[in-house]
Chains A and B, each alone.
Chain A
Amino acid sequence: MLSRTKLGVVALALCIALWSLPSVAQSRPEVPRDLRSIVEAKVLSVAVTRFDLPSFHVRGPDGKLLGPEIEMAQQIGRALGVDVEFIDSAESFDTVVDFVAMGRADIGVSKLSQTYNRLKRVRFSEPYVTLRHAFLFNRIAIARAAGGQPPAVVLQKFAGRIGVIAGSAYVDFASRNFPNATVVEARNWDTAIENLLSGRVDVLYRDEFEVRRVLKNKPALNVQLGSAVIVDQNALLSIAICDTCSKLQQFINYHIGMTRGAFTLKGLLNSELGKPVQ
């Protein structure tokens, strides 16, 4: 009788133990997304903008993505031994960062500048190229505002209307560096240039490459527009990496270190992929 009771207790304990096993498994924390999970999934998902970024990444005639940023992502994929999947539906630069922050992509590559706001949400690699901030300005408007002083004096504490691309890092940069200016956001770069030519804004704020590319591709604009470089402000163009991916960040930094010099201002300006401004 006693032995039957003992046997019953042991069986009951065993049942309870077996029943509780799945719940233990369920309560164990999820493995954070990082290099190992990417290698196991055999896919590196890369977010890029839906629009072209001439000299960085563009769509070829067949709709296929081309350009040094695309090559860089593919090189990283090859080094990891995984396939690369491009998610090219981001409407803006900020959306690329959103995709990475929300887990829709592992990394984001689209001429992304590091900013304080973005760094709160994602990691960034070492910069693969550093470009100085620059203005494309209306010569007459700035000369009028200068009133005989050098243009640099006016531009340094600019208080007019600054045009920037909506959802770009330059929205942050403009409000931080030129607090007295009115920031006018344009849908894209071409619209921003139209705004400048029509006098809706006095200057456009972006990096040295884009400013010089505009004047290079359309020399007639040199008559109307001038270019200015801000020597103490740099855009650190980096790869956005998921916030938990510390090992992946290390891996990408190593790759950037090994391929340093692949992106240069001169090379970008002379790139066949820098199509003329419409």
Chain B
Amino acid sequence: MNAGNDFDTDNSLKALSRSINRPAITLGAIVLALVLGAMRLPFLEYLRPVGDFYIALLQICVLPFLLATIPLAVRSAMAGGSAPGSLRSLLFWALMMLVAVAAVSVIIPSLFFGYASPDEQMITNIGALLGRSAESVDVEFAIDARHGAEITGAAEFAILSFVPTNIFASLSSNDSVRVLVFAAIFGIGMVLTERQSGPFDFRRFAPYPCSLRLDFRLVQPAGADWYRCSRCAAGGATRFGRIYCADAFCLSISGHRSVAVAGGAAALCVRAARIPRQGLWRLAEAGDAWRLHP
């Protein structure tokens, strides 16, 4: 009964999605938004949170999308032997787009200002836009010669500034270009690693969901070490299992727990990798019990 209801709900959602995602509706919505925006009706301010929410939803997709697709795209291009062609195509389209954007940015203002010379209000609006885009100030510099050398150097090697030194900082600051560069390098690295040690099997990650618990480990009780290690070891004696064991050991001794607990957990891990899986699951259950009732 419930399954039937879920099925109906699923179908109705799909039908709704299909009916909304039509070009005519999208274009109609854009036209309506433009008209309403031009009318500057006071109540439109109340719609702002909806728009902000939608934009935020789009923005949160950008970086994960880049991180997920670029390495795989690079990998498939390189693994499929189409890398040189893809690179040529990429460069061609990048140059074409650059020329097109430059041409548009020259031609459109020329045409526009040729017919309508900017008045004071328009200049004020453009200035306000410029002021906002600069956020605070246009240039920052130091009189001290040492800081000056940094500025000059940064300008001369601007391309190097796209290479991320800290990918997490780039992610947190929405620095898409650096994330893109990282993703491309990651994809290339993945292909090169594969060529040396065989194809990369993403399914190997499946038995190790517990790796995601790492971030929370500092607030877990000591029994969680046992729990986590036994869970991981349950996957069998694989390369990732050993890496995880070493990782867990290092984190344990750098955390707030005692070396004895950490050492015991790591030893259990190494040992557990050789124990039959049924036994390991029992250990995991014991770990669960300890975690819940330490």
Tell me how far the C-beta of A25 lies from the nearest C-beta in chain B, rounded to whole angstroms. 56
- Answer whether A231 and B140 are a contact pair too, CB < 8 Å, given A150-B151, A223-B123: yes
Q: Which residue of B lies closest to A224 (CB)?
A: B127
Q: Which residue of A lies closest to B133 (CB)?
A: A222
- Answer whether A228 and B140 are a contact pair too, CB < 8 Å, given A153-B151, A156-B151, A223-B130: yes
Q: Are B142 and A230 in contact (CB under 8 A)?
A: yes
Q: Are A149 and B155 in contact (CB under 8 A)?
A: yes
Q: Are B138 and A151 in contact (CB under 8 A)?
A: yes
Is B206's CB within 8 Å of the partner chain A?
no
Of A135, A177, A227, chain B has the most CB atoms within 10 Å of the CB of A227
Q: Which residues of A contact B123 (CB under 8 A)?
A: 220, 223
Contact of B128 among A211, A222, A226 (CB under 8 A): A222
A66-83 Cβ-contact flags toward B at 8 Å (1 or 0): 000000000000000000
Q: In the bound complex, how far is the Cα of B140 from the Cα of A208, in angstroms? A: 11
Q: Which residues of B contact A208 (CB under 8 A)?
A: 137
- Answer whether A229 and B139 are a contact pair too, CB < 8 Å, given A156-B148, A156-B151, A219-B131: yes
Q: Are B137 and A230 in contact (CB under 8 A)?
A: no
Q: Are B139 and A155 in contact (CB under 8 A)?
A: yes
Is B212's CB within 8 Å of the partner chain A?
no
What is the number of residues of chain B that contact chain A, defined by CB distance less than 8 Å? 24
Q: Are B155 and A150 in contact (CB under 8 A)?
A: yes
Q: Are A177 and B143 in contact (CB under 8 A)?
A: yes
Is A121's CB within 8 Å of the partner chain B?
no
Q: Are A222 and B130 in contact (CB under 8 A)?
A: yes
Q: Are B143 and A226 in contact (CB under 8 A)?
A: no
What is the number of residues of chain A that contact chain B, defined by CB distance less than 8 Å? 30
Contact of A151 among B126, B139, B143 (CB under 8 A): B139
Tell me how far the C-beta of B58 lies from the nearest C-beta in chain A, rounded to whole angstroms. 28
Q: Are A220 and B142 in contact (CB under 8 A)?
A: no
Q: Which residue of B lies closest to A149 (CB)?
A: B155
A259-275 Cβ-contact flags toward B at 8 Å (1 or 0): 00000000000000000
Q: Are B127 and A219 in contact (CB under 8 A)?
A: yes
Q: Are B147 and A227 in contact (CB under 8 A)?
A: no
Is B141's CB within 8 Å of the partner chain A?
yes
Q: Which residue of B lies closest to A139 (CB)?
A: B138
- Of the A-B pairs whose beta carbons lie under 8 Å apart in the complex, a sample of 16, sorted by A's number, is A150-B152, A152-B139, A152-B155, A153-B152, A157-B148, A208-B137, A219-B131, A220-B120, A220-B123, A220-B126, A222-B128, A223-B126, A223-B127, A227-B138, A227-B139, A228-B138
A219-B128, A227-B137 given; name 7 further pairs at CB < 8 Å. A155-B139, A216-B131, A220-B124, A227-B139, A228-B141, A229-B139, A231-B147
Chain A positions near chain B (C-beta within 8 angstroms): 134-135, 149-153, 155-157, 177, 208, 211-212, 215-216, 218-223, 226-233
Chain B positions near chain A (C-beta within 8 angstroms): 120, 123-128, 130-131, 134, 136-144, 147-148, 151-152, 155
**In the A-B complex, the 9 residue pairs with the closest CB atoms:** A222-B127, A219-B128, A152-B141, A228-B139, A219-B127, A222-B130, A220-B124, A226-B138, A220-B127
